[in-house]
Amino acid sequence: MKVRPLNDRVLVKRLAEETKTAGGLFIPDSAKEKPSRGIVIAVGNGKLDDSGKRNALAVSVNDEVLFGKYSGTEVKLDGEEHMIMREDDILCVVEK
């Protein structure tokens, strides 16, 4: 399914959560938290400013980003969990 976010919205696919701690202990499903890290899948065409000019987004497709725990709206696309959020909900881009 093709999805194109509107304005300053971004489609993010969550990265897989950790199954082990740094010490090697396995984390049970009941104790796992949803990751607040993901890959940008699609971006909107930018937000309109007061003069009617469109401002491009600071994130682009394939950027790895961190976002707030309660940010965005969860959606299922082709059986996979994704998030649709505003660019303002993204805290940072992870540089590699």
CATH number of 9-16+35-94: 2.30.33.40
Over residues 67-78, the pLDDT tens digits come to 988 888 999 888
Predicted pLDDT at 80: 85
Task: Look up the pTM and report it.
Answer: 0.77
Please tell me the distance from the alpha carbon of residue 11 to that of residue 82, in angstroms, as a whole number.
Answer: 7
Token pair belonging to 36 = 């607040």
Kindly indicate the confidence band of residue 31, based on its pLDDT and cuts at 50, 70 and 90: low
Domain ranges of the chain: 9-16+35-94
3-state secondary structure of 89: helix
